[in-house]
Amino acid sequence: MKNNKNFRSKFIDSLRHQGIKNELILEILATLPREIFIEPALRTRAYDQDALPIGCNQTISSPYIVAKMSEIIYERDNMGSVLEIGTGCGYQTAILSSLFDSVVSIERIEALHVRAKKTLASLNLKNITLIHGDGHEGYSEQNYFDAIILTAAPVKVPDKLLDQLNENGRMILPLHVDGSQKLYRLKKTKNGIHKKDIDDVRFVPMLEGKV
């Protein structure tokens, strides 16, 4: 059913209705099989507009949130390298691999890291490096990234991640603010960090260390 052309069309129409406009991202979402990233018992709900559990007290974000974050990280002329903090099930990772030349994704929970590695390998994606580690540390083996995306909410922007962002690079992240969470887009310029409030969101907290 999930490969049915009419079903896929309705799924994309729903995202358009919610305000997603980038046709490249919509095309990627239309062709990427979201159900393979979902626990078997929940696969009939894979295309519902809900966050779903993926085990280890983590979730896969709703299709709209994934599409929105992908849309606001997109810059036509600056899509070289991206660092993702929080691989989770690998769904956002797979989308990033279709947008950027190279993707580094860090997951602190080994069980999710191993599972995502297997799922992404089944899609034969060649431009992804998966790391089991602490996202607060970033990825020191690569000096700078054009973009960084966080799929878990820290209490403040991690300094080491800002240090690994190219000048004119951007960061998309949820942040804890006054008891709630907001999604922000940060732009790193020679004059400092420009911060834009995007929307109210709810993500799992970003924790230190790896397990």
Residues with catalytic annotation? 61
pLDDT of residue 8: 77
- Rounded Cα distance between 150 and 139, Å, is 13
Q: What is the pLDDT of residue 3?
A: 53
Domain spans of the chain, in order of start: 5-200
**Is the entire prediction scored with pTM above 0.85?**
yes
Q: Which residue in this structure is represented by tokens 């966050």?
A: 51
pLDDT in tens, the chain (211 residues): 455 667 778 899 999 999 999 999 999 999 999 999 999 999 989 999 899 999 999 999 999 999 999 999 999 999 999 999 999 999 999 999 999 999 999 999 999 999 999 999 999 999 999 999 999 999 988 879 999 999 999 999 999 999 999 999 999 999 998 889 999 999 999 999 999 999 999 999 999 999 9
Q: Which two tokens stand for residue 171?
A: 């960061």
Q: What is the pLDDT of residue 72?
A: 96
**Residue 153 DSSP code:** B
Burial code of 138-152, b = ≥16 C-beta within 10 A, e = fewer? bbeeeeebbbbbbbb
Whole-number pLDDT of residue 105: 98
Give the residue from 89, 93, 72, 95 showing the smallest Cα distance to 204.
89
Fold category of 5-200 in CATH: Rossmann fold (3.40.50)
So what's the pLDDT on residue 4?
60
Report yes or no: 42 and 53 within 8 Å, Cβ to Cβ: yes
Report the pLDDT value the prediction gives residue 134, as an integer from 0 to 100.
96
